[in-house]
Protein backbone atom coordinates (compact mmCIF):
# COMPACT_ATOMS: atom_id res chain seq x y z
CA UNK A 1 0.00 0.00 0.00
CA UNK A 2 2.80 2.39 0.83
CA UNK A 3 2.65 5.49 2.92
CA UNK A 4 -0.26 7.88 2.53
CA UNK A 5 1.37 11.23 1.84
CA UNK A 6 -1.71 13.31 0.95
CA UNK A 7 -2.95 15.80 3.53
CA UNK A 8 -6.62 15.96 4.55
CA UNK A 9 -7.33 18.68 1.98
CA UNK A 10 -6.02 16.50 -0.84
CA UNK A 11 -7.95 13.47 0.42
CA UNK A 12 -11.11 15.59 0.55
CA UNK A 13 -10.45 16.80 -3.02
CA UNK A 14 -10.03 13.20 -4.22
CA UNK A 15 -13.18 11.91 -2.49
CA UNK A 16 -15.60 13.00 -5.26
CA UNK A 17 -13.40 11.26 -7.85
CA UNK A 18 -13.61 8.05 -5.84
CA UNK A 19 -17.40 8.37 -5.50
CA UNK A 20 -17.65 9.09 -9.23
CA UNK A 21 -15.84 5.81 -9.92
CA UNK A 22 -18.14 3.95 -7.53
CA UNK A 23 -21.20 5.53 -9.20
CA UNK A 24 -20.02 4.45 -12.63
CA UNK A 25 -19.59 0.86 -11.43
CA UNK A 26 -23.00 1.03 -9.70
CA UNK A 27 -24.63 2.33 -12.89
CA UNK A 28 -23.01 -0.44 -14.95
CA UNK A 29 -24.20 -3.05 -12.44
CA UNK A 30 -27.72 -1.58 -12.40
CA UNK A 31 -27.85 -1.82 -16.19
CA UNK A 32 -26.45 -5.34 -16.22
CA UNK A 33 -28.91 -6.62 -13.59
CA UNK A 34 -31.80 -4.51 -14.93
CA UNK A 35 -32.52 -2.72 -11.64
CA UNK A 36 -35.80 -0.78 -12.05
CA UNK A 37 -35.41 3.02 -12.24
CA UNK A 38 -37.51 3.47 -9.09
CA UNK A 39 -34.99 1.41 -7.10
CA UNK A 40 -31.78 2.80 -8.58
CA UNK A 41 -31.16 5.55 -6.02
CA UNK A 42 -31.28 3.02 -3.17
CA UNK A 43 -29.15 0.59 -5.20
CA UNK A 44 -26.53 3.26 -5.92
CA UNK A 45 -26.38 4.23 -2.24
CA UNK A 46 -26.01 0.63 -1.09
CA UNK A 47 -23.42 -0.06 -3.77
CA UNK A 48 -21.31 2.96 -2.78
CA UNK A 49 -21.53 2.03 0.91
CA UNK A 50 -20.41 -1.52 0.16
CA UNK A 51 -17.47 -0.31 -1.95
CA UNK A 52 -16.41 2.20 0.69
CA UNK A 53 -16.67 -0.37 3.50
CA UNK A 54 -14.61 -2.88 1.50
CA UNK A 55 -11.92 -0.30 0.75
CA UNK A 56 -11.88 0.90 4.37
CA UNK A 57 -11.43 -2.67 5.63
CA UNK A 58 -8.62 -3.44 3.18
CA UNK A 59 -6.82 -0.14 3.80
CA UNK A 60 -7.18 -0.52 7.57
CA UNK A 61 -5.85 -4.06 7.47
CA UNK A 62 -2.86 -2.95 5.40
CA UNK A 63 -2.10 -0.13 7.84
CA UNK A 64 -2.31 -2.53 10.78
CA UNK A 65 -0.04 -5.00 8.97
CA UNK A 66 2.57 -2.32 8.34
CA UNK A 67 2.35 -1.15 11.96
CA UNK A 68 2.81 -4.72 13.25
CA UNK A 69 5.86 -5.16 11.01
CA UNK A 70 7.38 -1.99 12.49
CA UNK A 71 6.55 -3.16 16.03
CA UNK A 72 8.15 -6.56 15.41
CA UNK A 73 11.25 -4.88 13.98
CA UNK A 74 11.45 -2.51 16.97
CA UNK A 75 11.03 -5.34 19.48
CA UNK A 76 13.72 -7.36 17.77
CA UNK A 77 16.10 -4.39 17.64
CA UNK A 78 15.50 -3.47 21.28
CA UNK A 79 16.05 -7.06 22.37
CA UNK A 80 19.29 -7.20 20.41
CA UNK A 81 20.44 -3.96 22.07
CA UNK A 82 19.56 -5.25 25.55
CA UNK A 83 21.19 -8.58 24.82
CA UNK A 84 24.38 -6.87 23.61
CA UNK A 85 24.46 -4.67 26.69
CA UNK A 86 23.94 -7.65 29.00
CA UNK A 87 26.65 -9.61 27.22
CA UNK A 88 29.00 -6.65 27.65
CA UNK A 89 28.15 -6.57 31.36
CA UNK A 90 28.68 -10.33 31.52
CA UNK A 91 32.10 -9.94 29.93
CA UNK A 92 33.06 -7.28 32.46
CA UNK A 93 31.82 -9.42 35.34
CA UNK A 94 33.56 -12.56 34.13
CA UNK A 95 36.82 -11.61 35.79
CA UNK A 96 35.05 -10.84 39.07
CA UNK A 97 32.36 -13.52 39.37
CA UNK A 98 31.98 -16.16 36.66
CA UNK A 99 28.60 -17.44 37.91
CA UNK A 100 27.02 -13.98 37.80
CA UNK A 101 28.47 -13.39 34.33
CA UNK A 102 26.88 -16.59 33.04
CA UNK A 103 23.54 -15.59 34.60
CA UNK A 104 23.61 -12.13 32.95
CA UNK A 105 24.64 -13.61 29.60
CA UNK A 106 21.82 -16.16 29.83
CA UNK A 107 19.27 -13.42 30.46
CA UNK A 108 20.51 -11.60 27.34
CA UNK A 109 20.08 -14.74 25.26
CA UNK A 110 16.55 -15.30 26.64
CA UNK A 111 15.54 -11.73 25.75
CA UNK A 112 16.80 -12.15 22.19
CA UNK A 113 15.03 -15.51 21.91
CA UNK A 114 11.75 -14.07 23.24
CA UNK A 115 11.91 -11.17 20.78
CA UNK A 116 12.39 -13.63 17.94
CA UNK A 117 9.36 -15.61 19.05
CA UNK A 118 7.24 -12.43 19.28
CA UNK A 119 8.36 -11.31 15.80
CA UNK A 120 7.57 -14.79 14.41
CA UNK A 121 4.11 -14.75 16.03
CA UNK A 122 3.34 -11.31 14.59
CA UNK A 123 4.43 -12.46 11.12
CA UNK A 124 2.26 -15.58 11.36
CA UNK A 125 -0.74 -13.56 12.55
CA UNK A 126 -0.32 -11.13 9.64
CA UNK A 127 -0.11 -14.04 7.21
CA UNK A 128 -3.39 -15.44 8.53
CA UNK A 129 -1.77 -18.59 9.91
CA UNK A 130 -3.93 -18.53 13.04
CA UNK A 131 -4.32 -22.30 13.43
CA UNK A 132 -0.58 -22.88 13.06
CA UNK A 133 0.12 -20.03 15.50
CA UNK A 134 -2.26 -21.56 18.07
CA UNK A 135 -0.62 -24.99 17.64
CA UNK A 136 2.89 -23.60 18.11
CA UNK A 137 1.81 -21.43 21.04
CA UNK A 138 0.32 -24.45 22.80
CA UNK A 139 3.56 -26.38 22.23
CA UNK A 140 5.69 -23.58 23.75
CA UNK A 141 4.70 -23.30 27.39
CA UNK A 142 5.89 -20.24 29.25
CA UNK A 143 9.07 -21.05 31.14
CA UNK A 144 9.62 -19.36 34.47
CA UNK A 145 13.05 -19.39 36.03
CA UNK A 146 13.30 -20.17 39.70
CA UNK A 147 13.04 -17.03 41.78
CA UNK A 148 11.83 -14.94 38.82
CA UNK A 149 8.07 -14.45 38.99
CA UNK A 150 7.04 -17.80 40.37
- The answer to whether residue 99 sits within a structural domain is yes
- Is the model's pTM score more than 0.75? no
pLDDT given at position 10: 85
Please give the radius of gyration of the chain, using alpha carbons only, rounded to the nearest integer: 27
Please check whether residue 80 lies inside any domain of the structure: yes
**Which CA distances in Å does 77 have to 63, 71, 111?**
21, 10, 11
147 domain residue, yes or no? no
Structural domains counted in the chain: 1
Classify residue 144: in a domain, yes or no: no
- Judge whether 146 lies within some domain: no
Domain carrying residue 37: 12-139
Task: State the pLDDT at residue 112.
Answer: 63
- What pLDDT is stored for residue 39 in this prediction? 95
Please give the average pLDDT of every successive group of 10 residues along the chain, which has 150 residues.
72 86 94 95 92 83 78 77 72 62 60 67 68 64 48
Amino acid sequence: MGNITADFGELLRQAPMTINGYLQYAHDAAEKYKIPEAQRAAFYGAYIQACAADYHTAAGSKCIEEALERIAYAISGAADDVSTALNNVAGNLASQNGGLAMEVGGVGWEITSAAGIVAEAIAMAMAGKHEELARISAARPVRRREGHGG
